[in-house]
Amino acid sequence: MNKPFDKLKLHGFNNLTKSLSFSIYDICYAKTEQQRKEYIEYIDEQYSADRLTDILGEVVDIIGANILNVARQDYEPQGASVTILVSEEPVEEQQNYDADEAPGPLPDSVVAHLDKSHICVHTYPEAHPDDGICTFRADIEVSTCGIISPLKALNFLIHSLESDVVTIDYRVRGFTRDINGVKHYIDHAINSIQNFMTEDTKEAYQMMDVNVYQENLFHTKMMLKETDLNTYLFGLSTDELSDDEEEEIRSKLTREMQEIFYGRNLPETE
């Protein structure tokens, strides 16, 4: 991989498009049909289009952008989508923008700017009709055009959303020209998405990279290492379960997380 210049003197605007997209999965166990129904209702209420609009609106405020347009929709029987078009506020001293490969700031100190960009989220709650496993997925995309990278928002988003499994993609598209007319296909150094995460996040998750450096394409998978079964039970607690029931539920939850993490169905065990 060619190392990009530390500072590029550009001919006109930076035309690189940087897209950060990821799916977060929250997994739980609901024993009865009624509990599974209540779980879907709970998720739909917690992540309605209005609530998602408020969440993304807070993100836009934190990164210092302007909202141009909001499109939102709730779906039947469940799920919601929100897309926000945003524009950059005037940026002074752009040459001081920090493009180092390091975690972005936490929610209380995030300041960034976007141009010709968008933030969107789509939700997909579902419940298995037989074995009690319920999985909520939220797909989020932050796409920017200009000098900044949406990777600086990754730390904020991970710390704002609790999740059991996360799959992340980062891609730099297009090119920009310097004052000599030479094309540059990336304007910042990057070795791994993991380098933009805090140490506590990397310690909490099992992680795996699949990167294609020559295409400026980076992929990271994350799966939570340690789990408290009570945080995965909807409508009941471990006090209501026998040892055998606990073991069976743990096995189901572990299998669900591993299949999502590895992206394939695992063989049945006796």
Summarised one tens digit per residue, pLDDT across range 14-45 is 778 889 898 999 999 999 999 999 999 998 88
Residue 2's pLDDT is 45
Give whole-number Cα distances, 142 to 21, 148, 214, in Å.
6, 12, 22
- The arithmetic mean of pLDDT across residues 73-93, rounded, is 77
Q: Is residue 101 part of a domain?
A: no
- The arithmetic mean of pLDDT across residues 88-94, rounded, is 47
How far is residue 104's CA from residue 126's CA, in Å, rounded to a whole number? Answer: 32
Residue 62's pLDDT is 64
C-alpha closest to that of 111 among 131, 93, 138: 93
Candidate list 28, 143, 145, 163, residue with the active-site label: 145
Candidate list 113, 118, 122, 188, residue with the active-site label: 122
| CATH number, position 256 | 3.60.90.10
Q: What is the pLDDT of residues 114-144, one digit of tens each?
A: 445 788 999 999 888 778 999 999 999 988 7
Pick 269 or 169 by higher pLDDT: 169
Q: What is the pLDDT of residues 183-227, one digit of tens each?
A: 888 888 899 999 989 898 899 999 999 999 999 999 999 999 987
Alpha helix segments (H runs only) across 90-227: 154-160, 199-204
Residue 102's pLDDT is 58
pLDDT over 90, % of the chain: 45
Residue 97's pLDDT is 46
| Known active-site residue 159 | no
Q: Is residue 104 part of a domain?
A: no
Give whole-number Cα distances, 52 to 16, 81, 125, 140, in Å.
28, 8, 14, 11
Q: Is residue 4 part of a domain?
A: no
Q: Which residues of 227-248 are buried (b: 16+ CB within 10 A; e: fewer)?
A: eeeeebbbbbeeeebeeeeeee
Half-sphere exposure of 68 (CA within 13 A, CB side): 11
Alpha helix segments (H runs only) across the chain: 33-46, 49-63, 154-160, 199-204, 243-262
Q: Is residue 266 part of a domain?
A: no
pLDDT band with cut points at 50, 70 and 90 for residue 101? low
- The arithmetic mean of pLDDT across residues 237-257, rounded, is 94
Q: For the chain, what's the residue count?
A: 270
Burial of residue 149 (CB within 10 Å: 0-12, 13-18, 19+) is: buried
pTM beyond 0.85: no
Pick 55 or 146 by higher pLDDT: 55
pLDDT band with cut points at 50, 70 and 90 for residue 238? very high
How far is residue 31's CA from residue 133's CA, in Å, rounded to a whole number? Answer: 8
- Give the SS3 label for residue 170: strand
Candidate list 19, 28, 113, 117, residue with the active-site label: 117
Which residues, including other chains, have CB under 8 Å from residue 213's CB and lie 6 or more apart? 1
| Known active-site residue 117 | yes
Q: Is residue 81 part of a domain?
A: yes
Q: Is residue 236 part of a domain?
A: yes
Q: Is residue 38 part of a domain?
A: yes
Residue 210's pLDDT is 95
Domain residues for 22? 15-87+113-260
| Known active-site residue 134 | no
C-alpha closest to that of 52 among 39, 71, 37, 25: 71
Residue 148's pLDDT is 62
How far is residue 169's CA from residue 74's CA, in Å, rounded to a whole number? Answer: 26
pLDDT band with cut points at 50, 70 and 90 for residue 181? confident
- If one counts the domains in the chain, the total is 1
Average pLDDT of every residue of the chain: 82
In the numeric block, which tokens belong to residue 121? 């989220």
How far is residue 69's CA from residue 85's CA, in Å, rounded to a whole number? Answer: 5
Residue 55's pLDDT is 77
Q: Is residue 150 part of a domain?
A: yes
How far is residue 268's CA from residue 259's CA, in Å, rounded to a whole number? Answer: 12
First to last CA, the chain: 47
